[in-house]
Structure 1
Amino acid sequence: MNSYFVDLHIHIGRNWLGKAVKITGSKSLTLSNILKESSRHKGIHMIGIIDCHSPEVLKEIHDLIQKGMAYEKKDGGIQFEDVTLLLGSEIEIYDEHCNGPIHVLAFLPTIEKMETFSNWLSYRMTNIHLSSQRFYGTGKELQFKVKELGGLFIPAHVFTPFKSLYGKGVEASLTEVFDPDLIDGIELGLSADTKMADAIAELHRYTYLSNSDAHSLAKIAREYQEMYMDHPSFKELEWALHQVNGRRVVKNFGLNPLLGKYHKTVCGQCLKQRSSSEDTCSCGTSKMIKGVSDRIEELKTATTSPERPEYFYQVPLEYIPTLGKKTLEKLLQRYGTEMDILHYRTEEELNEIASSKIVDAIMKMRKGKLSISAGGGGIYGKVNISS
């Protein structure tokens, strides 16, 4: 069995015609740029691009294959240089069983299956060309179609206050909207970790995923997991999610939940952090944006947790204050990829390029000892390093 780094939630900002796919995504976040960045700089072995239902994105994938720059793997996925692309789609559900919109991820094994799925969705969405569009049907109907096509179904960033399963989507249980037997994994989101999620007993049966939800090239692999697989492919991922034949997630790498932009409850007007028990803020408004930590406390149903892979708090290089573009480029040129720098290079090696302050931050990050100011209300937390 081999070890691979996997990030399964990356958006496309613009298609090859220059038109928006994820409207809030960076213009440089194109399919080709994502593949090159992941393979050459990030060191990620498998990525899930979750806007592959868009017809123009599918055409661009076909073009890469026709030009001999990529090829479709026998057991699912598209190989480009050193990275395997999984064909995914992020979809919004808001049916009569939901209290609020819920985002989910669907992955299909082949281009043909994704094209079939895209055609099916086009009759149930207003705009098939855009990312994260609302699906006009029930959650279970979507699950059944994904499974009919041999796909994987994963609720996305399940605790964020907006557009998530537990944020507002359900009152208390995923069974209000989904068939629990047709869920292949749970994406935690940036403001939660394994320990927090395991406060909810119904999640104990699922593999947890820590993905980047990247809206720019720099954000790729800000969260990811290490998996044991024979090789990167759709089938191997499916086995890893269900722990078949030794395949499994062995480590989750994610932001300290304090860095997530929805970790703490804040006032919806002045954005000051507040207790979830407060009815009004000192500024006079009664609108609060409930933090993930408080929402999980409301939903708590478990007193014990199952055995899980270790969860490592990692801080992407771009989050480290004073680490400028030139120093980052020198580090990448000397040591290869961001994965190498974050996890494998020694303190002595890093000191050859970066300042002692930056190196100290990387070393503390590896030990989970960085000082962090918590985020909330859409504002990310901050890393604090000594002057």
Structure 2
Amino acid sequence: MKTYYADMHIHIGRTYTGKPVKITGAKSLTFSNIIQHARNEKGLDMIGIIDCHSPEVIEEISQLLHLGEIVEHDDGGLLYGDMSIIPGSELEIYDQNCQGPIHVLCFFPTIRAMSDFSIWLSQHLKNIQLSSQRIYVSGRLLQKKVKELGGLFIPAHVFTPFKSMYGKGVNRSLTEVFDPERIDAIELGLSSNTKMAEQIAELKDFTFLTNSDAHSLKKIAREYQTLSLNAPTFKEFAMALKQNGGRKVSANYGLDPLLGKYHGTACAKCLTPFRVDEGICQQCGSEKYIKGVADRIAELVSSHVERIERPPYIHQVPLEFLPGLGPKMLEKLLDHFGTEMAILHRIPYEQLKKVVPLTIADLIMAARKGELHLQAGGGGKYGKISGD
């Protein structure tokens, strides 16, 4: 078995002709730019690119296959050199069983399967060109179609306040919307971690994923996982989600939940911490608030949960989050050491401090060891980091 770094939730902002896909995504997030940046600067071994159902994205992938710049692996996935790309789609479900919109991820082994899925999708949503569109079928029917095409089905960022399985505060169980037998894993999202999620009994049998949900190139790999696989293929990834044959998620790397935008309950108007029992924001007087992930999970905690052995959840801080480490200094680090994965995990302290100021080298080491001091985020505002 080998260890592979994987981020399985990266959005496409624009097609190669400049047409929007993810409206809120950066214009630089084209398929070609993503694969180059993820491999050459981030140092990832496997990525899941969402929004591959968009017809122009399928066209770009087909052109790259024709030119031989990427190739399809016999066991599924597209190889760009030694990095594997798993084509995916993020969709929004809001059927009669949902109490709020829910985002899900669907992955497929081949571009042919993705193309067939795109054709089917075009009959059930308003704009096949765009990302995260509402699909006008039930969650269970969508699951059935994904499985017919040999795909994987994963509820996305399940605790965030908006557009997630548990986030709106009404749905209390996966079974209200989905067939659990057709769920392959659970994506946690930026404001939660394994310790928080494993308090919910119905999640016991699912593998947890930690992905970036990147809307810009620099946000790629702000969360990721290591996978133990024989090769970086769709088949091996699917086996890892089921922990078959020794394949597995060996570690989750994610932001400390305190850094997430929705960890704490916050005033909807001024985003300062909000105490629900007080009923009013002490800062601005507003009565409206955005319930934080920590408080939402507290509502869902099961009275008895059978604990199982899970991979470690390592509170990894992306380089761009470190105070004082700007774009020029990051470029200098990459010039010397190659990729962000190398800088975050492998480069010795003695080498780091030869390239950047001692304060930055100390911050990188503190981030590696999980020793940074944090201030909680909430209401859509990220938490803060200091090296003190």
TM-score of Structure 1 vs Structure 2, range by shorter chain: over 0.9
Q: 1:276–1:294: 8 Å Cα contact kept in structure 2? A: no
Is 1:164 aligned to residue 148 of structure 2?
no
- 1:335-384 Cα distance to aligned partner (Å, 9 max, x none): 11100000111110100111111111111112211011111001111111
Q: Distance in 2 between matches of 1:278 and 1:246?
A: 50
What are the within-5 Å matches in structure 2 for residues 59-208 of structure 1?
59-168=59-168, 170-208=170-208
- 1:42-94 Cα distance to aligned partner (Å, 9 max, x none): 01000000100000000000011111111111111111123111010000000
Deviation at 1:304, TM superposition (A): 4.8
2:296: which partner in 1?
A: 295
Q: Distance in 2 between matches of 1:39 and 1:250?
A: 20
Q: Distance in 2 between matches of 1:276 and 1:98?
A: 25
Q: Distance in 1 between matches of 2:96 and 2:61?
A: 36
Q: Which runs of 5+ in 1 are unaligned?
A: none
Q: Which runs of 5+ in 2 are unaligned?
A: none
Q: Distance in 1 between matches of 2:163 and 2:3?
A: 33
TM-score, normalising length from structure 2? 0.98
Q: 1:170–1:177: 8 Å Cα contact kept in structure 2? A: no
2:258: which partner in 1?
A: 258
1:347: which partner in 2?
A: 349
TM-score, normalising length from structure 1? 0.98
Is 1:307 aligned to residue 304 of structure 2?
no
Deviation at 1:303, TM superposition (A): 4.6
1:285: which partner in 2?
A: 286
Question: What letter corresponds to residue 67 of structure 2 in structure 1?
Answer: K
Secondary structure at the aligned position of 1:166 is classed as: coil
1:375: which partner in 2?
A: 377
Deviation at 1:331, TM superposition (A): 1.1
Computed over aligned residues only, the root mean square deviation of the Cα atoms, in angstroms, reads 1.0
Q: 2:211–2:221: 8 Å Cα contact kept in structure 1? A: yes
Q: 1:265–1:294: 8 Å Cα contact kept in structure 2? A: yes
2:333: which partner in 1?
A: 331
- 1:227-279 Cα distance to aligned partner (Å, 9 max, x none): 10001010000000001110000000000111100000001112110123342
2:9: which partner in 1?
A: 9
Q: 2:47–2:85: 8 Å Cα contact kept in structure 1? A: yes
Question: What letter corresponds to residue 166 of structure 2 in structure 1?
Answer: Y
Segments of 4+ in structure 1 off by > 6 A?
none
Deviation at 1:170, TM superposition (A): 4.7
1:316: which partner in 2?
A: 318
- 1:190-213 Cα distance to aligned partner (Å, 9 max, x none): 000000001101001000000000
When structure 1 is superposed on structure 2, of 31-40 and 267-276 the one drifting more is 267-276
Q: Distance in 1 between matches of 2:277 and 2:294?
A: 13
Question: What letter corresponds to residue 151 of structure 1 in structure 2?
Answer: G
Question: What letter corresponds to residue 376 of structure 2 in structure 1?
Answer: A
| Number of residue equivalences | 386
Q: Distance in 2 between matches of 1:276 and 1:204?
A: 30
Secondary structure at the aligned position of 1:295 is classed as: helix
1:222: which partner in 2?
A: 222
Identity score, percent: 59
Q: Distance in 2 between matches of 1:276 and 1:23?
A: 33
